Amino acid sequence: MYKIMLADDEGIVIDSLRFIINKNFPGMCEIEHADTGRKVIELAENFKPDIAFMDIQMPGINGIEAMKEIRKTNSGVVFIVMTAFDKFNYAKEAINLGVLEYLTKPVNHTVIVKTLEKAMKLIEDERKKRSNDLMIREKLEIVVPILESDFIYAIIAGEDLKKTNFPHLLGIGQEYGMILVIEFGDSLEEGVLTNPVGVSVKAQSFYPVIKDSLKEEFTCIVGPLMVNKIVTFLPHAAPQLEYDQRIHLIEKARKLIRELRKKIDLQFKIGIGSVTLLDQVIESYKEALKAVHDSKGRVVHICDLQNGCEYEKDYPIDTERRLFHLIEKGDLDGTRTEADRFFDWMINNYPDCEMDIKLKVLEFVLFAEQKAFLCGGMIYYFRYRKDYLDTVTKTANYELLRKWYIEKITEACQMIGSKGKEQNSGIILKAKEYMEENYKKDISLDEVSRIVDISPYYFSKLFKEETGENFIEYLTNIRIEVAKKLLRNSDLSIKNICMDTGYSDPNYFSRIFKKQVGVTPTEYRERGL
């Protein structure tokens, strides 16, 4: 249905338009009319027309002024001007108001019909667009919470967020961020929340209230309910919070707790971690947990705990943290780049502090090697570093020192990376062997992940990274290759081959085979492929 408003002070024009509309669009239109400018405006407010035929010269308020008023409350109405006035100024004003057509009376019947069809198409297109937008929005309402939960889980798992698609999908444009952890319990006794497990049972009922309150107070990504806590990511544009920003953030968190206590009969605590780079935000998560658990206060920022480390104003803490993170990941190229950048900072800012630079070099090398020892990438010997101190103190110039420092750090990093790849390769090799031995069974990703003793989520991700195929694709390829061999070299029926390759339904087996090979099993056998 289309709502059509006729605005003209000539009764014959109204009757003619009504007749043309009803004849050419039977049962499709609801028609109302008005004969003065004031009545037109009042009718438009109540009737809310889709299409309005407007005369320019009417008693009282003219058509142009009436259209201006109507447009204020109905931005989607399609105006069609039909007037005896063909003055340029009127036409120009009408165009500025987004009028679809400016028709000069008398108007041919066919022109009116074509103009109406054009207007109806515009309205129909807009309705479809609106419907599609609502459908997309409805789907996003389902998908976005899942993405947000996965994003928080990725943070907690220590994944490199820059290598995921989460920042793009969730519209995170900032390089930095921090974690806020909110916990709740029945009561707060000496800074400790009581009955966390009991609270978790009924938490699902009030989780939406907490989530909505967090999003009202902060620009943030809210994670799922985890026992009695919710982990929240707050993006930030700069590498650190200024003092006033930190105080403002704490006040907002205190306000949030006050509002939540009015809605939910529970006690709350909030811990906030420091700002970090996106790929190091797990450190902020650890700090937020520490802030919650190590303090008796209701809202605590990690910087308010006295056991934290403070740095001089220009110290490149981002570079240091990034370097440590890359070493732990075994990222050789990234480690070299950040190690080099930190060395440049030292010699540019403290060129005369040779011993301090040498001590820092030794500190970083020892850190890198400790990580390599702990991951099993290097064998520890008590006298492994017997010549380190002598080498460092006697190095003649900064470039020789840089060379030794980069070599040692990258060597340790390489050991970490190799060990990680070796462990991953071993896991995937074991999974492949199990799949190749048991392809006849109805095996699943959960079953194989249990065999290699890692979570299904991590196994799925690791399998794709190592093989370039997902679990189902790899298993299907094994089965199809076996099926091809049996079709070529045996007289087994298609049904038996289906059963021998792990499929229970011959029709499904044939569809999968054709999708993979391009022909059906019968055609494959007949052609002797």
298-345 tens-digit pLDDT: 999 998 885 556 778 789 888 888 888 888 888 889 899 999 999 999
DSSP H or E segment with residue 229: strand 229-236
Please tell me the least confidently modeled range out of 184-193, 333-342, 358-367.
184-193
Alpha helices in 375-397 (DSSP H): 388-394
User: What is the reported pLDDT for 41?
Assistant: 93
The predicted model gives 464-486 an average pLDDT of: 90
DSSP class of residue 218?
A: S
For domain 436-527, give the CATH number.
Answer: 1.10.10.60
The predicted model gives 494-513 an average pLDDT of: 90
User: What is the reported pLDDT for 84?
Assistant: 80
Are residues 295 and 191 in contact, defined by beta-carbon separation less than 8 angstroms? yes
User: What is the reported pLDDT for 456?
Assistant: 79
Closest CA to 148 of 46, 230, 92, 89: 230
* pLDDT higher than 70, residue 90: no
User: What is the reported pLDDT for 191?
Assistant: 81
DSSP H or E segment with residue 104: strand 101-104
Are residues 180 and 271 in contact, defined by beta-carbon separation less than 8 angstroms? yes
Are residues 434 and 460 in contact, defined by beta-carbon separation less than 8 angstroms? no
State the angle between helix axes of 445-452 and 471-489 in degrees (0 to 180), rounded to the nearest 10. Answer: 100
pLDDT band at 137 (very low <50, low <70, confident <90, very high): low
Q: Which of 74-78, 270-274, 323-327 has the highest mean pLDDT?
A: 270-274
User: What is the reported pLDDT for 97?
Assistant: 75
pLDDT band at 527 (very low <50, low <70, confident <90, very high): confident
User: What is the reported pLDDT for 330?
Assistant: 84
Are residues 326 and 409 in contact, defined by beta-carbon separation less than 8 angstroms? no
Q: What is the signed CA dihedral for 203, 204, 206, 212, rounded to 10 degrees? A: 120
Secondary structure (3-state) at 311: coil
Ordered by start, the domain boundaries in the chain are: 2-107, 151-304, 317-420, 436-527
Are residues 498 and 506 in contact, defined by beta-carbon separation less than 8 angstroms? yes
pLDDT band at 43 (very low <50, low <70, confident <90, very high): very high
Closest CA to 401 of 452, 357, 457: 357
CA distance 228 to 265: 14
State the angle between helix axes of 506-517 and 471-489 in degrees (0 to 180), rounded to the nearest 10. Answer: 100
Residue 185 tokens, joined: 């319990």
Start-to-end C-alpha separation, the chain: 61
* pLDDT higher than 90, residue 415: no
Alpha helices in 157-276 (DSSP H): 166-169, 196-217, 243-263
CA distance 44 to 47: 5
CA distance 79 to 90: 14
Edge-to-edge, what's the strand order for the sheet holding 78-83?
A: 29-34, 2-7, 51-54, 78-83, 101-104
CA distance 175 to 275: 10
CA distance 247 to 118: 58
Beta strands in 246-402 (DSSP E): 267-272, 276-277, 299-301
Q: Which amino acid is at 85?
A: F
Q: What is the distance, to the nearest Å, from the Cα of residue 43 to the centroid of all Cα atoms in its chain? A: 46
Closest CA to 427 of 477, 471, 369: 471
Sign of CA dihedral 63, 66, 68, 71: negative
Beta strands in 377-425 (DSSP E): none
Q: Greater confidence, 380 or 302?
A: 302
The predicted model gives 109-128 an average pLDDT of: 92
- Calculate Rg over the CA atoms of the chain: 36
From residue 297, give the alpha-carbon distance in Å to each of 99, 211, 222, 433, 506. Answer: 63, 22, 22, 54, 66
From residue 54, give the alpha-carbon distance in Å to each of 44, 50, 190, 214, 309. Answer: 12, 13, 74, 49, 73
User: What is the reported pLDDT for 140?
Assistant: 62
User: What is the reported pLDDT for 423?
Assistant: 67
Length of the chain: 529
pLDDT band at 420 (very low <50, low <70, confident <90, very high): low
Are residues 177 and 275 in contact, defined by beta-carbon separation less than 8 angstroms? yes
DSSP class of residue 221?
A: E
CA distance 250 to 234: 13
User: What is the reported pLDDT for 352?
Assistant: 93
CA distance 159 to 320: 19
Q: Do you find a cis peptide bond into 106, omega within 30 degrees of 0? A: yes
Please tell me the least confidently modeled range out of 144-153, 326-335, 416-425.
416-425
Query: Considering the chain, what is the average pLDDT of its residues?
Result: 87
Are residues 407 and 363 in contact, defined by beta-carbon separation less than 8 angstroms? no
From residue 417, give the alpha-carbon distance in Å to each of 31, 39, 93, 329, 500. Answer: 75, 79, 70, 7, 40
User: What is the reported pLDDT for 118?
Assistant: 93
CATH number for 151-304 (one of 3.10.20.30, 3.30.70.270, 3.40.50.460, 3.30.700.30): it is 3.30.70.270
Closest CA to 402 of 342, 472, 489, 320: 342
User: What is the reported pLDDT for 87?
Assistant: 63
At the topology level, CATH places domain 2-107 in Rossmann fold (3.40.50)
